[in-house]
Structure formats: structure tokens, C-alpha cells
Amino acid sequence: MDLNYSAEELAFRDEVRAWLGKNLPRDLADKVSNYDHLSREDLLRWHRILAKQGWVAPSWPKEWGGTGWNVVQRYIFEEELGYAGSPPLIPFGLTMCAPVLLRFGTEAQKKRFLPRIYQGEDFWCQGYSEPGSGSDLASLKTKAVRDQDSYVVNGQKIWTTLGHYADWIFCLVRTDPTVEKRQEGISFLLIDMKSPGITVRPLILMDGAHEVNEVFFDDVKVPAENLVFEEGKGWTVAKYLLGHERMNTGRIGGSKRELAKLKESSSSITDTRFRDRLARVEVELMALEITNLRFLDQMRRSGQPPGADVSMLKIKGTEIQQMLTELAMQAADPADAAKLAASHGPRYCSTRKTTIYAGSNEIQRNIIAKMTLGL
């Protein structure tokens, strides 16, 4: 196992770092650094800059716009984005729906949706969670009934991130309520958010931000051609998608950037308990990076995606993100309450959800116990 970058990989890292230094708009970088709200246009602006460079979808096949980079180069690129403080590339289209279409979609679906996802012409969101069906996703109740060449969808999704920005939503729906095993009878639909019968209602978070939503479906007609894979086989698609989602939740580059800022801002703090916690977070972040490199080495040698072990990245990566925000709150000057509330407060509140989304960390531990340890 080789966890060191080659000379070629180091040269690639320097190339990416230099390009980001010249092409990442200063106003967008400042918004990220200050934890300011990023609008739909902010997010799409950065997406389109990378699309013009040909770097927006590195993992896609080259015939659809991918870069042809190997897994290590893709990892380096993602971490350099995080370390530079670029706006996030919204994953719902690029790294969630697109891989599903590439694996399970028809040629017509690929030709229709992939170019628009690549160019940032369509903004996507995810319709998985429902009231009472979050970590227990197989208990979802939103139903879709086939009516000739359409499905009629009724139900509700919740915690729909950036649903108020979205042009399209990919949804898990129940097409057969009679099956005994709950994972069966679920299908994967692509739904136009402008369809009659869709209502998006904001859920305002504790920091006052509008990031998530409730989405209601009342007799929404969806063309049958928008079914991905086979009817009743949506759970297979969902598991494939979640593997891609969890691989990208570690956010090591972003955490390294936040750690560097925290160390600089807290350099005058002499409290030994604080310094001990800071050192522990740094060690855990180093260990997470080494673990990620181990996965990359396995993928580089085998050509296969990681298995259930990838849940480790999700667990530890999100816990580190939370620890960094907790330390940032401790390091802030309590006398400057306005600054504390404006900067650290929203970020602290926002990272509370990281250990819940993409499958709660408790669920991830169950996956590791069952699939890896055989318990």
C-alpha cells in the first residue's frame, strides 16, 4: 500500500492550486470564508466557471465531459477545492443523479439530462426523507400510481435541501404497496419541479436560514419515461446513490482550511484543555486523511468503488466538522457578541445536521457492524 503522492500527482496538485488561485472569484471566496449566504446564482456561477474549464465533473466518463483523471487526481482536486474555500459544487445533480443515470439510465435519459447537469442549466434536489421516514428510508409512503403513460404521485418529502432553488427532483416513491419486504415496491422517478401539484414550503432553521423545505405532491403527473431502471427496483438505485453521497461527506480539504484558520485565531489562547482538544482534532483529521488515502489506494489498484467501509469516512468526517465549529465558538471573543452571532453562530448551527444527513452516523455504525464486521 502506497499512501504517498507521486511526483506527477504533486505536479497535478500544484497545477490545480495555481488555477484556483487565479480563477476563484474573490467575492465568492470571501462569502465562503465569512460563512455568508450563497445564492442560487452564486452556486451556479462557480459551477459554470468549472464547466468552462472542463473540471466540473471529473468522475464522469470522458464521452460525457469527464476529465479522465484517476481516483487520486480526483481526490486531490476535491481537497484543493475545499482548502481554497471555493463554493460547494451542489452534489444532487453532479455526483448523485448523474452517476445513477450513467449506471441505470436509458440512452435517452442520459442525452436529455446529463448535458444540462454538466452546464448548470438544471438545478437538482433530492426527494428521499419523509416525515417518519428518514434513517428508516424503506418506510417511505409517497406513492406513485401508473396511469397509462404517466405516474400520478401523491405524498410529501421533507428536509429537501435547496428545493426552493431546484428545477428537478429525483424521488423515491412507492409503486407497489402490497409487497411484504419494504425495500421492494419502491421506484426512482425524475420529476420536474414546475409540474402542477407540487408545493414547496420553507423550513426555517435555528440560525434563521432557509436551506431546507417540505415538498408536497398532489396528483402530480410524471411521464413514465422519467422512471429510472425498473419499476419496483428503486432500492437498488438508492443504495448505489447513497454510496456516492457518503464518499463525499468527509470534506477533508474544507476541514483542513477551517483548522488552519482556527489555529491562527486561537494562537494566543493558553488554556491547556482547549489546546489539548485542538491537538486531538488535528490528529483525528490526519488519521481521517490517511484512511481516505487507503480507500483511494484500494480503488486505484482494484478499479472498484469502496464497500460499506466508506461509512467510516462519513462518521469521522462529520464529527470532525462539528468539533471544529465547537472549538471556533470557544475561541471567539465573548465580548464581541455581534461578531460571534454573525459568523460562528450560523456555521455552528449548520454543522449540527452533518451527522444526520446521508444516513445518520448511528445508521452508518450499524452498516459497518453488519457488512464489514459481520455482527
Q: Give a yes or no: residue 237 inside a domain.
A: no
Give the pLDDT confidence score for residue 304 in this predicted structure. Answer: 63
> In terms of domains, do 82 and 142 share one?
no
Question: What is the band of 89 on the pLDDT scale with cuts at 50, 70, 90?
Answer: very high
Residue 159, exposed/middle/buried by CB under 10 A (0-12, 13-18, 19+)?
buried
DSSP H/E element including 74? helix 71-84
Give the pLDDT confidence score for residue 294 in this predicted structure. Answer: 80
Give the pLDDT confidence score for residue 340 in this predicted structure. Answer: 58
Give the pLDDT confidence score for residue 371 in this predicted structure. Answer: 76
Q: Give a yes or no: residue 345 inside a domain.
A: yes
> In terms of domains, do 62 and 130 share one?
no
Question: What is the band of 296 on the pLDDT scale with cuts at 50, 70, 90?
Answer: confident
> In terms of domains, do 362 and 253 share one?
yes
Mean pLDDT within 336-354: 70
Query: Considering 174, 206, 232, which residue would you say is the last residue of a domain?
Result: 232
The pLDDT tens digits of the residues spanning 207-219 come to: 788 999 999 999 9
CA distance 287 to 293: 10
Q: Give a yes or no: residue 44 inside a domain.
A: yes
Give the pLDDT confidence score for residue 136 in this predicted structure. Answer: 83
The CATH number of the domain where 360 resides is what? 1.20.140.10
- Of 330, 232, 315, which is closest to residue 278 (Cα–Cα)? 330
> In terms of domains, do 228 and 259 share one?
no
Residue with cell 437498488: 236
Question: What is the band of 305 on the pLDDT scale with cuts at 50, 70, 90?
Answer: low
Give the pLDDT confidence score for residue 221 in this predicted structure. Answer: 98
> In terms of domains, do 209 and 272 share one?
no
Q: Give a yes or no: residue 99 inside a domain.
A: no
Residue with cell 413514465: 224
Give the pLDDT confidence score for residue 85 in this predicted structure. Answer: 94
> In terms of domains, do 215 and 261 share one?
no
Mean pLDDT within 116-131: 97
Q: Give a yes or no: residue 156 inside a domain.
A: yes
DSSP for 19-60, written as a single string: HHHHHS-HHHHHHHHTT----HHHHHHHHHHHHHHT-S-TTS
SS3 call for 168 = strand
Give the pLDDT confidence score for residue 280 in this predicted structure. Answer: 96
Q: Give a yes or no: residue 365 inside a domain.
A: yes
Q: Which of 144-153, 278-287, 337-346, 360-369 has the lowest mean pLDDT?
A: 337-346
Mean pLDDT within 115-135: 94
**Helix, strand, coil % over all residues of the chain, rounded to 5:** 55, 15, 30
Query: Considering 63, 89, 115, which residue would you say is the last residue of a domain?
Result: 89
> In terms of domains, do 201 and 154 share one?
yes
Give the largest CA-CA distance in the chain: 71
Give the pLDDT confidence score for residue 349 in this predicted structure. Answer: 81
Question: What is the band of 52 on the pLDDT scale with cuts at 50, 70, 90?
Answer: very high
Q: Which of 176-190, 313-327, 330-344 has the lowest mean pLDDT?
A: 330-344
Number of domains in the chain: 3
> In terms of domains, do 187 and 73 share one?
no
Give the pLDDT confidence score for residue 218 in this predicted structure. Answer: 98
Domain extent, residue 342, equals: 249-372
Give the pLDDT confidence score for residue 251 in this predicted structure. Answer: 84
333 against 151, higher pLDDT: 151
Give the pLDDT confidence score for residue 134 in this predicted structure. Answer: 78
> In terms of domains, do 142 and 44 share one?
no
Catalytic residues: 245
Give the pLDDT confidence score for residue 336 in this predicted structure. Answer: 60
- Of 56, 57, 36, which is closest to residue 46 (Cα–Cα)? 56
Q: Give a yes or no: residue 242 inside a domain.
A: no
Helical packing angle, 272-302 and 252-265, nearest 10°: 160
Rounded alpha-carbon distances, angstroms, from residue 212 to 104, 125, 160, 169, 292: 28, 10, 5, 14, 29
> In terms of domains, do 310 and 363 share one?
yes
Residue with cell 453562530: 345
Q: Give a yes or no: residue 205 inside a domain.
A: yes
The CATH number of the domain where 212 resides is what? 2.40.110.10
DSSP H/E element including 214? strand 210-223
> In terms of domains, do 57 and 85 share one?
yes
Give the pLDDT confidence score for residue 194 in this predicted structure. Answer: 98
Q: Long-range pairs for 302-305 at CB < 8 Å and ≥24 separation?
A: 305/243, 305/247
Give the pLDDT confidence score for residue 135 in this predicted structure. Answer: 74
- Cα dihedral 269, 274, 279, 281 sign: negative
Chain-wide mean pLDDT for the chain? 90
Percent of the chain at pLDDT > 90 equals 65
> In terms of domains, do 172 and 285 share one?
no
* The model scores a pTM over 0.85: yes
Query: Considering 232, 261, 280, which residue would you say is the last residue of a domain?
Result: 232
